[in-house]
Each structure stands twice: as structure tokens, then as C-alpha cells.
Amino acid sequence: MKSAVTMTVNGAPRTAEVEPRTLLVHLLREHLNLTGTHVGCDTSNCGACTVWLDDEAVKACTVLAVQAHGHEVTTIEGIAANGDLHPMQRAFHEHHGLQCGYCTPGMIMTAIKLVEAVPAPSDEEIRRGLEGNLCRCTGYENIVAAVRAASEVRV
Amino acid sequence: MIPREFAYERPESVADAAGLLRSHGDGARVLAGGHSLLPMMKLRLAAPETLVDIGGISSLRGITDAGSYFEIGALTRHADLAGSDLLGLACPVLASAAAGIGDPQVRNRGTIGGSLAQADPHGDLPAVLVALDGEVTAEGPDGTRTIPARDLFRGFLTTSLAADEILTAVRVPKAPHSTYVKFNRRAQDWAIAGVAAVVDGDSARIALTGVGAAPVRAEAAERAFWGGNAAEAAARAADGLDPPSDAAGSADYRRHLARVLTLRALEEAIGG
Ligand SMILES: Cc1cc2nc3c(=O)[nH]c(=O)nc-3n(C[C@H](O)[C@H](O)[C@H](O)COP(=O)(O)OP(=O)(O)OC[C@H]3O[C@@H](n4cnc5c(N)ncnc54)[C@H](O)[C@@H]3O)c2cc1C
Ligand code: FES
Ligand code: FES
């Protein structure tokens, strides 16, 4: 019942043998060892599993690996350039936008797309844009501060 | 959580998809954005033997301006509806409802066809289609038919689509004075209640979500509106409703929301 899926992951072509029921997040974590993408709720709510599919933020626990066949996937491991953290990663670091770090990869993947779509977001727009990402630790204040700071770097 | 095993098909045309649905019988289900079906499969609330993934049929995607109405492909995603300037101006009820669905990641996957076929009693787009008096095209192995909104929604997660029919397109009239207002308490949540309002001169069409097994047309409110009386209409918006009581709110609370949200929606639709 297994079939081969091929996709570009973080810029490189990857192939794996999976069952149709394998979720994209399990393909990434268990077949490709990209464990930066987390599973929080597994019920499509928390956003910890957020990756980019064809350059758009999606919840990888709610996409089948076979649905990503032939497409392009980017994970948290794929956003630093030549060893330099992405400005959003740096902003989370500098503004203490994390405590346990469980939600952080998903937050960052969503936040980068948020800032691309709305270049100078208000705090309200940041909170709305992160509606699909839950954090049990920080109370969100420093996450919002980090995204605001990263958006100012880009301007 | 992992779904039960299933076979996976990825047809390249609607005709092939309909043929697969017929040959696999009751065990087959269409997969569009997967944002209702996959969560149900992971919870084992659904266990189809075969998934017919229509995601690769690119002709089912896109918004076409057809003069007095829009023709929208079934695979057009919530994000496409919300981001469409065309809809924002000429059919704001659809654009605003889509913009409030779930969260950005959900809107990047979920589709209009999937939302209508799912017929969730708390879904936003079924009420929008009813308020707009829109219609859908259904294509099956025996041909193509048109289903008006009033005949599409049959009850809890139930539509009049046959098991081997594919919803291919949605047609909605232009309705520049229209809006959708939903109320929930938590980020990213479904509507406790929601109101789609379409104002056309002296008359209004009003449909509610979250207050029954399927979208409800607020007919008493529509009659009371005649000539533009939003306050009178809102006062009648809960007439005849029999809403559910659950953890999100009591039946009385939902009646209250129906009235308050109808007023907000009508005032915004008239102003817009
Ligand atoms: C966290 C979360 C929050 C959400 N919040 C909301 C919300 O606030 N409001 C809201 O309205 N929705 C909400 N949704 C649901 C979302 O809008 C779904 O995308 C939608 O209900 C189903 O669309 P889909 O394309 O994902 O369909 P799928 O999940 O692929 O399919 C749903 C059903 O429709 C059938 N189907 C799909 N397409 C077709 C077709 N073209 N022809 C025939 N049958 C078809 C499938 O067989 C299945 O039975 C939420 C979902 C999640 C995960
Ligand atoms: S693990 Fe995917 S949304 Fe929570
Ligand atoms: S930092 Fe712990 S969940 Fe967000």
C-alpha cells in the first residue's frame, strides 16, 4: 500500500515511501528527521506543526504527505541563510518570544508570512494573524513584541 | 493521531473523479482541502475506504466575473475569497465570511466547495449561500445539474449531493450591500451564531448559522425589514427559531445573538 512521494524540502529534492494515511508532519519528522516541526494538539488547532507548502503557511498535521507530492515544503530548519538566523528567529531570541519553545517553530513560520502579507502590522493585526498558533507559556506579549520588531527590521 | 488505512486516488478530471466515486461505491469520499475530513478521519469519526483527491483538478479553481454574478470554482480556497478585491467590492458577504473562517493556515487549505458539501451547522459559507440565493453545479457519472441553495442543505452534515456527485462550481449574484457577522468567544473558533445579510433596495435576505441543524432563513425579519427598517427586522430575527443549547451557549443566548447580530449585519450592509 506504500507509494513513493517526492517533494522539494528546504530546497532539496526528497523522496520517501509512505502510506496514503501518513501525515505531512510525520513524513517530515519520522522519515526525513526534520524534528523542528512539532506536533502539539494533533487536532488542527495549535499551529505548532506549521510549515510552508508552496510558500504558504499550513498545518502539517492536517495535510497528507501524498497531497504534498510534487510540491515545495519549507520547515523551520530551512529559513536560516548561510548559518545566519532569519530576522524573525533573531527577533524571537532578542525579545524573549519563547519560554519552553514548543510553539516557536510554528509561530515563526506563521509570523514570517504574516509580515510578508502586512508589512507594518498593528498589534491587533499581529494577534489576528497568529490566531491559529497557541502558546501555553508566554501570554503572547513578547511574541507580539518580537513580530513587531521583526517587521520593523524589514521596513 | 493517524487515520484508518485507505486507498488514495488522484484523478485529473471531474469525469474521472465521478467515475471513481461510482466504482468504489459508498466507501469512497471526495478530498478537497481536507480541513474537515482529515480531522474527522484522525478522530476516527470517518473512515472512508478510498479518498478521491480532487486537489489536482486545476479547472476547479478560480473566481470569474460573469456580469451580474460570480462563478467560483469549488476548489477556490477561503484565502482566495477573502483576498479577492472583486468579491470585496461586489459581494462583501462572501469575502467577509471567508476572512473570518478559522485562522490563516485553515484559510490556506479549506475550500468553498468543501465547506458547502460539509454542511456543518456552525459553518459560515452555507448561510452565505442561502442569503445570496446562490446555486451550485453538481457533476456525476450521469450528468450535470444545478442545485439552488434552498435545496442543498438538508440537515446536520447532510446535503442533497449524491455520493458520486462532485460539487464543481458555485454561482452567487453580485450583492454590493451585504455582509457577514459572526460571534465567537475564542480565537480561531467556529461561530456560536452568525448572520449573513444581503440588502437590495427595500428588501433584505437574512440567513443565520449556528442556530439549527442547517442554515435558517430569517423570514419574519426579512418581512419586517421591508423599506429599510433594520431595528424592526432585528427584533424579529429569532422568531420561530429553535436553537440548540450546548457548552458554547444556551438556546436563549443564541436567540439573543440572532437579534443583536442581525442588527449589526443589516446596518453594516446598508452602510456598505
Ligand atoms: C481549526 C479549524 C477551524 C475552522 N473554523 C471554521 C470556521 O470558523 N468556519 C467554517 O465555516 N469552517 C471552519 N473550519 C472548516 C473549514 O472551513 C473547512 O475547510 C471546510 O469545512 C471544509 O472544506 P475542505 O475543502 O477542507 O473540505 P474537505 O475536508 O476536503 O471535505 C469536507 C467534506 O466535503 C466533501 N467534499 C469536499 N469537496 C467536495 C466537492 N467539491 N464535491 C463534493 N463533495 C466534496 C468531502 O467528501 C467531505 O465529506 C475550520 C477547520 C479547522 C481545522
Ligand atoms: S499539531 Fe497541527 S495544529 Fe496542533
Ligand atoms: S513557549 Fe511554551 S508553548 Fe509557547
| CATH number assigned to the domain comprising residue B208 | 3.30.390.50
- Cα of A145 vs centre of ligand 3, distance in Å, is 15
B125-141: pLDDT as tens digits: 999 999 999 999 999 99
**What gap in Å lies between CA A57 and CA A50, rounded to an integer?**
6
pLDDT at residue B1 in the model: 87
Q: What is the mean pLDDT of chain B?
A: 97
Q: What pLDDT does B257 receive?
A: 98
- Do B200 and B251 fall within a single domain? yes
Identify whether residues B48 and B89 lie together within a single domain: no
**One domain, residues B69 and B164:** yes
Each residue's pLDDT, cut to its tens digit, for chain A (155 residues) gives 798 999 999 999 999 999 999 999 999 999 999 999 999 999 999 999 999 999 999 999 999 999 999 999 999 999 999 889 999 999 999 999 999 999 999 999 999 999 999 999 999 999 999 999 999 999 999 999 999 999 998 54
Q: Is residue B1 part of a domain?
A: no
B66 falls within a domain: yes
Q: Is B245 helix (H, G, I), strand (E, B) or coil?
A: coil
The answer on B194 and B151 residing in a single domain is no
3-state secondary structure of B182: strand
Establish if B227 belongs to a structural domain.
yes
What is the distance in angstroms between the Cα of A10 and the nearest Cα belonging to chain B? 19
pLDDT tens track for A102-127: 999 999 999 999 999 999 999 999 99
Q: Based on the fold, state whether residues B152 and B188 are members of the same structural domain.
A: no
Contact B188 A50 (CB under 8 A): no
User: Does the pLDDT of residue B272 top 90, yes or no?
Assistant: no
Report if residue B188 sits inside a domain.
Answer: yes
Residue B2 covered by a domain = no
CATH code for the domain in which residue B17 is found: 3.30.43.10
Query: Is residue B33 located within the same domain as residue B70?
Result: no
Residues B45 and B79 in one domain: no
Considering only residues 36 to 65 of chain A, which have any Cβ-Cβ distance to chain B shorter than 8 Å? Answer: 42-45, 47, 50, 53, 56-59, 61-64
Domain final residue pick, B173, B208, B240: B173
Which range marks the domain in which residue B213 is found? 178-271
Total count of residues recorded for chain A: 155
Same domain, B144 and B185: no
pLDDT for residue A149: 97
- State the total domains in chain B: 3
Say if residue B199 is in the same domain as residue B251. yes
- CA atoms within a 13 Å half-sphere pointing along the CA-CB vector of A13: 4
Is residue B188's pLDDT more than 90?
no
C-alpha grid cell, residue B260: 443583536
Which of B122, B151, B173 is where one domain is finished?
B173
Q: What confidence tier does B256 reach under pLDDT thresholds 50, 70, 90? A: very high
State the pLDDT at residue A153.
84
Is the predicted pLDDT of residue B52 greater than 60, yes or no?
yes
Residues B182 and B167 in one domain: no
Domains, chain A, with CATH or none: 3-78 (3.10.20.30), 87-152 (1.10.150.120)
Strand partners of residue B188: none
| Interchain CB contact of A29 with B (< 8 Å) | no
* B114 HSE (CA, 13 A, CB side): 25
Least Cα distance to A131 among B84, B122, B186, B180 occurs for: B186
A114 touches chain B (CB under 8 A): yes
Q: Could you tell me if B77 and B120 lie in one domain? A: yes
Tell me which residue has cell 450546548.
Answer: B246
CATH number at residue B168: 3.30.465.10
Q: Is the CB of B196 under 6 A from ligand 1?
A: no
What predicted TM-score, i.e. pTM, was given to this entire model?
A: 0.97
Reported ipTM: the value is: 0.97
pLDDT score at B187 = 83
pLDDT score of B13: 97
Specify the pLDDT at position A37: 98
Instruction: Calculate how far, in angstroms, residue B101's C-alpha sits from the geometric centre of ligand 1.
Output: 10
Output the pLDDT for position A1: 77
CA neighbor of B132 nearest in space, from B188, B81, B59: B81
Q: Which residues of B touch A43 (CB under 8 A)?
A: 1, 39, 42-43
User: Measured between beta carbons, which residues in chain B are less than 8 angstroms from residue A3?
Assistant: 8
Domain boundary pick from B173, B193, B228: B173
Q: Is residue B72 part of a domain?
A: yes
Please check whether residues B134 and B74 belong to one and the same domain.
Answer: yes
Q: Rounded mean pLDDT of B4-9?
A: 97
